[in-house]
Chain A
Amino acid sequence: MAFYEDPLQITFILTAIYIIICMFMVITVEKVMQSTYWLIMMLVGVAVTFLLANSEIIFAFQISIYAGGIAVLLLFAVLLTEHDDAPFPNTLSKFLRATWMQLIIFLVLAVNMIVLILDTVDKPDYLREAGGGTPNVLGDSRIPVYGDENVAGAFEITENYTLFLWDNFGPVIPFLGLLLLAALLGSVKLAIREWDIEELSDEMKAQILKSEAS
């Protein structure tokens, strides 16, 4: 089946193009703030690919945590540092001169990885390992998400996932919580500043002196 006959594949390709455009803008756009905006849009695109892979719950995570929380953190970082400069020179020749090495790495790696992946996945042994002989199962699983027949499939998958998460991978949640707590404390420690009383305004000074006196 050619890709244009399959609406899912067409959707995926469109999503991928959207992601790549966003990514390009993230890297090349001049202002850091706009770069962050483009990042948020790219993250949404990634979330759509998750949805295409039958995982609504990860789609929800991606939208809420990534595109919501983390992007906001990055926005704060951009706002607080406030430093704009052009990431790349204007002319192509200058651009090439400045980034030839990175470009080579990028091209070599990209071509190499894609070729490798395609080659690997096409191997019959690998397909057999993958079980079932139908490797391209994404979007066509036993339990389609948006199928008319079985609406409850999505819930079943989510249930499976949460069962795994809470039963088999039980320690993951406290581990992540601990990690985030540590990150919180560390960032607070890093971001906190020793204030010199002379730097403050007169009002603040008077207020602090007053509180110290009491």
Chain B
Amino acid sequence: MVSDIVLANLAWATIAIPFITGITLLLMSLFEIKGDKKYSEKFTGSLGVAGLAGSWIVSLVVLVQFFKEKVTHKSTIGHVNQEFDFLPSVSGSFKWGILLDPLSVVFLVLLTTIATVIHFYASEYMTQDPAYTRFFGTMNFFTGSMLGFVLASNLFMAFIFWELLGFSSYLLIGFYWQKRSAASAAKKAFLYNKIGDVSFLIGIAIIWNKTLEATGSATLSYLDLAEMMEHGDLRFNDFIVPALLIFGGAIGKSAQFPLFGWLPEAMEGPTPVSALLHSSTMVKAGLFLIARNYYLFYVHADGKPIINLSDGKLSGVIAEFGLNSNSFNAANAIVWIGVITALAGGLMALTATDIKKVLAFSTISQLGYIALAMGAGGLTAGMFHLISHATFKSLLFLCAGAVIHSVHSNEMTKMGGLKRYMPYTYWTMLIGLLGLSGVPLMNGFWSKDAVLLALQNNDEIVLGEVAYLIAVLTAGLTAFYSTKLFLLVFHGEPRYDKDHVHPTKTGIRMRISLVILASLVVIESLWWTIGTIIDVDGSRNDYWNFEYALGTLFHSHGGEFDPIAAIFPTVVGLIGISFAYAVYGNKRLDWMRTRPLVISAEKVITNRFGVDQAILWVAEGPVMGIGDFFQKIDVEVIDAFIIDSFITNGSHRLADMSDTFDNEWIDGTVDKTGIQIRQGGYLFRRIQRGQTSYYARIMTGSLATILVVFTFVRFV
């Protein structure tokens, strides 16, 4: 029996371990810079990996113990909530604490697992890098921030770690800060994220205010908010604006439609950073925030909040959930932003030639998928796809890193025929891409199907059918560019410079990491396939069915796989694969390039639909206009009128007056005083002329005066 306190302390340990190692490594890197030396990579790398590995082991313990203690029965799910005051105040304290529930625990394990593998991979990938120590320090710090965000028990603590996440991602994206492009990419990522941060912060403030108004004691704790929602202390309809603002934070962090421009730029960081950033940490933070605060977005049809944390009881079957009419707009906004993001990401991935950028756009596309699933009410589906995506996308990035390490180029046009040089990478990347493409029976297939099903089942989405079709089309696009990437990199004629580039085998540690992640993908695929298709105990409501299990744990629905509904997306995906194979597999690379429609479309897509330009315009136009306006005011009013005519002349006159005053009064006084004192000196020096009689006169005069004074006193 492990008490709640022990569990919470273990959770603290998972946060603290990477932070401690990270800060230690950063200090060591500081000493390296100061002392102009370098610690052995074996030591610093081991420390960096050990920080994550320790966190991983502890998180596994937390997982096992949590499920042992709290999920004792199918219908009873407990949670651990340890909170204490951070900034006490009368109207309500800012808390600092840990919330362990299925959502955070599952995400915790996913995060630590993938981050550990990526760290292990990076310990070889980053060898010979001059800033090896700094890299691992920042990576550990970054992962620790994400862990803190995941385990936070309230919005305040979450926001603090959210900002730490943004800061450390800035450090990581700008890791090669000597390169201008990296520095500007870091800046861009930071600024784009800041927009979301501001939105998030305003949302928090509104929630604080509303709870203060409603109950007299403000709170930001997830549990308190959900409980108040459930008991009717807070009206769900009041929380549409803060919900949208919090989704705004997710837009910034998770690179949704208007603000996705920073994610491809973020590829300037080292490949392990990209892998970590895209799989489970940074971009998933926004979506995790939505999942965490799902009670703000959806309610059950009977008005109960969707995360029923307070009593931990489930009434057997998950209640049929429907959209509250007032949350309609919020949900629609999320769905449509997700759809647009998915489609735009897919299209941009088609045209990109940089292998990492293809994967980055793919990430944007998949994030859109997750967002639309959540918007459509499919919390389970969203988390499901998030998990599968985290697995295969980290694998794909690591593979891409291996390829880049081997060819020393990011451009797919300079690769090709790498299959025989790096068989491990070949096979692992194949597995990852199969998952991404949604090939039947792979993990991506199941999760994508759940997403599409969630969208299909929700009747209240505006133009829901169109959204569904676009989502399916995106699935086809995903399959197309996945195949294209695979064929361009590993098949066909070698296009790299054969004289200078000699592709090498992938290193041992990198290979191990790839194999681990690939096996994770395979395990997930097998598990989910078997769990979904085979009924272990005769019914589909079983923990073997992963989606159903997730739904149960999250108090949402799940496990409603429908083979007939899955046929259409699968067929579209297979068509995409076949088409790509037809185009790129048969060495007909130029066929696509010559179509004028394709060329103009490509131009539009390469410019990212002008979204970045629009943002620039939106940001620049008003800002510059305001700046011009104020400059005009400054020049024409302040400079011309106030300063020139008023202040300048006034101070001129004042200066003249001061000058006169200074010369005539101050100097005059001083001079006069000096002259008078000198006159007095001339006067008094006469008694000091060395004549005894004068001294005697003064002496006796003084004595006489004293005597007179005595007499005077005596008689008066």
Which of B345-372 touch A at CB < 8 Å? none
Residues of chain B within 8 A (CB-CB) of A105 are: 697, 700-701, 704
Given contacts A109-B704, A112-B704, A116-B711, 9 further A-B contacts (CB under 8 A): A101-B697, A105-B697, A105-B700, A105-B701, A109-B700, A109-B707, A112-B708, A113-B707, A116-B707
Is A108 touching B704 in the complex (CB atoms < 8 A)? yes
Interface of B is mostly: helix
Interface residues, chain A, CB within 8 Å of chain B?
A: 101-102, 105, 108-109, 112-113, 115-116, 119
Interface size class of B (residues with CB under 8 A): under 10
* 21 residue pairs from A and B, CB less than 8 Å apart: A101-B697, A101-B701, A102-B697, A105-B697, A105-B700, A105-B701, A105-B704, A108-B704, A108-B708, A109-B700, A109-B704, A112-B704, A112-B708, A112-B711, A113-B707, A115-B711, A116-B707, A116-B711, A116-B714, A119-B714, A119-B715
Cα distance A116–B708 in the bound complex, in angstroms? 10
B 635-670 to A, binary, CB cutoff 8 A, 1 in contact else 0: 000000000000000000000000000000000000
Cα distance A108–B707 in the bound complex, in angstroms? 9
Interface of A is mostly: helix
Quote the shortest CB–CB distance from B422 to chain A (angstroms). Answer: 120
Cα distance A160–B715 in the bound complex, in angstroms? 40
Which chain A residue lies CB-closest to B702? A105
Quote the shortest CB–CB distance from A118 to chain B (angstroms). Answer: 12
Cα distance A95–B291 in the bound complex, in angstroms? 118
Residues of chain A within 8 A (CB-CB) of B708 are: 108, 112
Which of B670-708 touch A at CB < 8 Å? 697, 700-701, 704, 707-708
Residues of chain A within 8 A (CB-CB) of B711 are: 112, 115-116
Which of B282-330 touch A at CB < 8 Å? none
Quote the shortest CB–CB distance from B705 to chain A (angstroms). Answer: 8
Cα distance A116–B715 in the bound complex, in angstroms? 10
Quote the shortest CB–CB distance from B692 to chain A (angstroms). Answer: 14
Interface residues, chain B, CB within 8 Å of chain A?
A: 697, 700-701, 704, 707-708, 711, 714-715
Residues of chain B within 8 A (CB-CB) of A108 are: 704, 708
Cα distance A115–B701 in the bound complex, in angstroms? 18
Which chain B residue lies CB-closest to A101? B697
Residues of chain A within 8 A (CB-CB) of B704 are: 105, 108-109, 112
Quote the shortest CB–CB distance from B708 to chain A (angstroms). Answer: 6
Cα distance A37–B701 in the bound complex, in angstroms? 30
Cα distance A108–B701 in the bound complex, in angstroms? 9
Residues of chain A within 8 A (CB-CB) of B700 are: 105, 109
Residues of chain B within 8 A (CB-CB) of A109 are: 700, 704, 707
Residues of chain B within 8 A (CB-CB) of A102 are: 697
Is B697 touching A112 in the complex (CB atoms < 8 A)? no
Cα distance A102–B701 in the bound complex, in angstroms? 8
Quote the shortest CB–CB distance from A126 to chain B (angstroms). Answer: 13
Quote the shortest CB–CB distance from A159 to chain B (angstroms). Answer: 39
Residues of chain B within 8 A (CB-CB) of A112 are: 704, 707-708, 711
Quote the shortest CB–CB distance from A161 to chain B (angstroms). Answer: 33
Residues of chain B within 8 A (CB-CB) of A101 are: 697, 701
Residues of chain A within 8 A (CB-CB) of B697 are: 101-102, 105
Cα distance A102–B697 in the bound complex, in angstroms? 7
Quote the shortest CB–CB distance from B716 to chain A (angstroms). Answer: 13
Quote the shortest CB–CB distance from B75 to chain A (angstroms). Answer: 118
Cα distance A101–B700 in the bound complex, in angstroms? 10
Quote the shortest CB–CB distance from B478 to chain A (angstroms). Answer: 120
Cα distance A101–B698 in the bound complex, in angstroms? 9
Cα distance A101–B696 in the bound complex, in angstroms? 11
Quote the shortest CB–CB distance from B659 to chain A (angstroms). Answer: 48
Which chain B residue lies CB-closest to A109? B704
Residues of chain A within 8 A (CB-CB) of B714 are: 116, 119
Residues of chain A within 8 A (CB-CB) of B701 are: 101, 105
Cα distance A108–B700 in the bound complex, in angstroms? 11
| 9 closest residue pairs by CB, A with B | A109-B704, A108-B704, A105-B704, A112-B711, A105-B700, A105-B701, A112-B707, A116-B711, A101-B697
Cα distance A102–B693 in the bound complex, in angstroms? 10
Quote the shortest CB–CB distance from A52 to chain B (angstroms). Answer: 28
Cα distance A119–B711 in the bound complex, in angstroms? 10
Cα distance A108–B697 in the bound complex, in angstroms? 13
Residues of chain B within 8 A (CB-CB) of A113 are: 707
Which chain B residue lies CB-closest to A102? B697
Residues of chain B within 8 A (CB-CB) of A116 are: 707, 711, 714
Cα distance A112–B714 in the bound complex, in angstroms? 12
Residues of chain B within 8 A (CB-CB) of A115 are: 711
Cα distance A105–B714 in the bound complex, in angstroms? 20
Quote the shortest CB–CB distance from A78 to chain B (angstroms). Answer: 20
Cα distance A115–B708 in the bound complex, in angstroms? 11
Which chain B residue lies CB-closest to A120? B714
Quote the shortest CB–CB distance from B473 to chain A (angstroms). Answer: 123
Which chain B residue lies CB-closest to A115? B711
Cα distance A112–B705 in the bound complex, in angstroms? 10
Quote the shortest CB–CB distance from A36 to chain B (angstroms). Answer: 21
Cα distance A115–B712 in the bound complex, in angstroms? 11
Which chain A residue lies CB-closest to B707? A112
Which chain A residue lies CB-closest to B698? A101
Cα distance A105–B704 in the bound complex, in angstroms? 7
Cα distance A109–B710 in the bound complex, in angstroms? 12
Cα distance A105–B711 in the bound complex, in angstroms? 15
By CB atoms of chain A within 10 A, which of B701, B704, B714 has the most?
B704
Cα distance A164–B711 in the bound complex, in angstroms? 36
